[in-house]
A and B are shown apart, each in its own frame.
Chain A
């Protein structure tokens, strides 16, 4: 080949400069994904420190720890950091790593735009966080006008500019994901064979593509009002402050689904693998995801019920309606687990925690769709509790689930299960302890965004509980960090397919090579790797009646030589000798051909192999 004649590229040395250079200049979706994940986890901890500041101040009545002005900036930047600098880049990062692998692509459609998308994040983060040095940004994450246009602090300008950068990054990312998903799927990977995570990410990208530009436009309006004497939100100049709320929530509500749909996708990947069953109702799931995306654009004004400027029945109805596809997903997850052979490894624990706690967040969200109830609890801690039950118990649990689930694929090393379970239980207890009392505080009338409250209001004990919970959440991060630190120092000994999963990313090595796949398995269902490993077993176990010496419910291993013109045992050539599991199937199947005359010893041997494989799969290590 011509390439062999070219001089060899200089191999990367061990010096720091070449190492850094290789990361800064990379266009590999896996490395970019890893950078997204590392950056956003750092932001998660910064945002967490902000949250601890808030909860420390609120633990007791009185102002002990922060001034009201710092407090205002702190809760604003806590929300902005967690939403724009943690959850969004984190899910983008996981998707960046996983989506090309799951659709059998070698990289994203626009690798350099992908790198640009990541490199817009650090400057955006610097702009946003440096607002502390310029008077802070005490405007809430909603930046309501005229508070945001009339407050003089220059920190608000920095916040606006930083958010525009991050929005640009999101738009570039979603263009890239959509093009990748539509153009780079492997042969045979039809839209209805895509993993649910890819579907969720696709709908998320559509939401971002149509909602972020609206936020960008709104931020520009704020910037013009602040700096050039504009009158968008100033009634004295003929403007309309409610306009900002429309613009913001037209972005803000789809944004909620941007934060949670990837989480739904992660849980939909993990639950079937650890229940050892196909996902129940795949098509219903796809439809539910798409309809959540569509309905997400019809409910923005349910954040504005009390403004009196919106048509309440319309937005209330559609808010209830959007609970239907979400409910479909819940029932599908439960039906997937029903009768399954459940394994409670750490990813599954987080997924189950997600299902249990997101249900609470979803239900108290449905309360808010009831207009009279919303009028009662508007801007109280009920809303704070709701948003944290869907974002901490929802998005954060799913993010941890995805990190534990894909860590072996990303690094070739498996995280410690015991530390993982410690992480889960601390987070589970901390989340409930922090946010459940806030429901009661909200019903008691404690409004949000206050630095102090009266000692006579009866809120002291619940606030104290909530603050203890916040510190337990912070504590729960430590086992995770230690786990990652210790694991990264170990040799790369994780198997290619540690969870006995069925999507394509597990069909390559751990970690994958730069080009992702030496060879792809044939894709004829939404579970190509399952077909590869168990296809010849499963296809015929169901179809044929039980033999005289065989009870129902047992596998019979008697595949035909060919099926619809395709050689059934032809999997060896596709899988290669390195794929341990696949080779085993191929070894088992030819032994068992012509089962009519097969002796019992042969059958017993084949069953023994199946049993071996099952026990092996039970305890992946």
Chain B
């Protein structure tokens, strides 16, 4: 708050002890801290879903239930994984660019990230469509189906949230609102995107690889 700067000026002894720089400029940025705390709460949300998965898995006699062999890591889930992981790298490259003040490159990186996110969602929708129509595997097909659709579905919802956030960033970036000194909104959305990516890696490992 700008009020504190005035206070520091009005109070010479405090300035001498604590420095005139104020207290807001030091340490982590306020926006980024808010986002990181939000991500911490989201981690707990997914931790509860993973906990439910392992609790059910531990109490089941056969896991995964018989007749669910169609849940395979290749080809679609693997392609989706590669796309989402590479989108994280593209996003981080965009962050490095805006730190150097290269707005155009950052905008391009964000646009590519949005595109990759949308492709991921499209692949997930196709996968769902395939499972529901061809394999007759829905959210009510036993607890395995419930867990599968709840976990991947909430992850997909988070990807969608991330894509919306990235579109906001892209719009603002195209208006030239970011610079090498003012890019914390980009940093925050990027942190969220990385989080969504990491959750997917854990989901992929849990649901497809370590069945």
A515 with B48, Cβ < 8 A, contacts A230-B146, A243-B55 known? no
Cβ of B211 under 8 Å from chain A: no
User: Which of B31-39, B112-120, B165-173, B197-205 participates in binding chain A?
Assistant: B31-39
Residues of A within 8 A of B18 (CB): 187-188
- Of residues 178 through 197 on chain A, the ones whose CB sits less than 8 Å from some CB of chain B are 178-179, 182-188
Residues of A within 8 A of B147 (CB): 232
Cβ of A376 under 8 Å from chain B: no
Cβ of B4 under 8 Å from chain A: yes
> B44 near A214 (CB under 8 angstroms)?
yes
A239 with B143, Cβ < 8 A, contacts A105-B1, A214-B45 known? yes
Cβ of A212 under 8 Å from chain B: yes
> B7 near A519 (CB under 8 angstroms)?
yes
- Of residues 191 through 215 on chain A, the ones whose CB sits less than 8 Å from some CB of chain B are 209-214
User: Which of A84-92, A220-228, A281-289 participates in binding chain B?
Assistant: A220-228
> A237 near B146 (CB under 8 angstroms)?
yes
**Most A CB atoms within 10 A — which of B8, B22, B45, B48?**
B48
Question: Chain A interface residue count: which class?
Answer: 35 or more
User: Which of A4-12, A106-114, A124-132 participates in binding chain B?
Assistant: A106-114
Cβ of A45 under 8 Å from chain B: no
> A109 near B52 (CB under 8 angstroms)?
no
Please give the number of chain B residues whose Cβ is less than 8 angstroms from any Cβ of chain A in the complex.
51
> A243 near B146 (CB under 8 angstroms)?
no
Complex partner residue of B42 from A174, A183, A213, A224, CB under 8 angstroms: A213
Residues of A within 8 A of B3 (CB): 106, 515-517
Cβ of B181 under 8 Å from chain A: no
Cβ of A171 under 8 Å from chain B: yes
Residues of B within 8 A of A182 (CB): 27-28, 33
Q: How far is the CA of A421 from the CA of B81 in the complex (A)?
A: 65
Q: How far is the CA of A237 from the CA of B45 in the complex (A)?
A: 23
| B52 (CB) vs chain A CBs: closest residue | A243
A231 with B48, Cβ < 8 A, contacts A243-B56, A515-B3, A519-B11 known? no
> B48 near A217 (CB under 8 angstroms)?
yes
Cβ of B133 under 8 Å from chain A: no
- Write out, one digit per residue, whether chain B residues 1-24 have a CB within 8 A of any chain A CB (1) or not (0): 101100110110111111100111
Q: How far is the CA of A210 from the CA of B37 in the complex (A)?
A: 10
> A187 near B22 (CB under 8 angstroms)?
yes
> A183 near B30 (CB under 8 angstroms)?
yes
Q: How far is the CA of A210 from the CA of B44 in the complex (A)?
A: 6
| A172 (CB) vs chain B CBs: closest residue | B38
A238 with B41, Cβ < 8 A, contacts A232-B52, A246-B55 known? no
> B60 near A238 (CB under 8 angstroms)?
yes
> B41 near A231 (CB under 8 angstroms)?
no
> A213 near B41 (CB under 8 angstroms)?
yes
Q: How far is the CA of A53 from the CA of B33 in the complex (A)?
A: 46
Cβ of B140 under 8 Å from chain A: yes
Distance to closest chain B CB from A166 (angstroms): 14
Cβ of B65 under 8 Å from chain A: yes
Q: How far is the CA of A234 from the CA of B15 in the complex (A)?
A: 64
| A110 (CB) vs chain B CBs: closest residue | B34
Residues of A within 8 A of B42 (CB): 213
| A180 (CB) vs chain B CBs: closest residue | B30
Distance to closest chain A CB from B194 (angstroms): 18
Distance to closest chain A CB from B187 (angstroms): 15
A187 with B14, Cβ < 8 A, contacts A175-B41, A221-B150, A224-B139 known? yes
A183 with B33, Cβ < 8 A, contacts A230-B140, A520-B11 known? yes
- Write out, one digit per residue, whether chain A residues 233-246 have a CB within 8 A of any chain B CB (1) or not (0): 01001111001001
Distance to closest chain B CB from A125 (angstroms): 22
Q: How far is the CA of A105 from the CA of B7 in the complex (A)?
A: 11
> A238 near B143 (CB under 8 angstroms)?
yes
Q: How far is the CA of A186 from the CA of B47 in the complex (A)?
A: 36
Residues of B within 8 A of A56 (CB): none
Cβ of B207 under 8 Å from chain A: no
Residues of A within 8 A of B136 (CB): none
> B34 near A179 (CB under 8 angstroms)?
yes
Cβ of A42 under 8 Å from chain B: no
Residues of A within 8 A of B138 (CB): 229
Q: How far is the CA of A178 from the CA of B16 in the complex (A)?
A: 28
Ordered by A's residue number, 27 sampled pairs between the chains whose C-beta atoms are within 8 Å are A106-B1, A106-B3, A109-B30, A178-B37, A183-B28, A184-B23, A186-B4, A187-B23, A210-B44, A212-B41, A213-B48, A214-B45, A217-B49, A224-B139, A224-B146, A229-B140, A231-B140, A231-B143, A232-B56, A232-B146, A238-B60, A238-B142, A240-B56, A250-B51, A520-B7, A522-B11, A574-B13
Q: A229-B139, A243-B55 are in contact. List 11 more A-B contacts (CB 8 A).
A: A174-B37, A186-B4, A187-B8, A187-B18, A210-B44, A217-B45, A220-B154, A231-B146, A247-B48, A520-B14, A522-B11
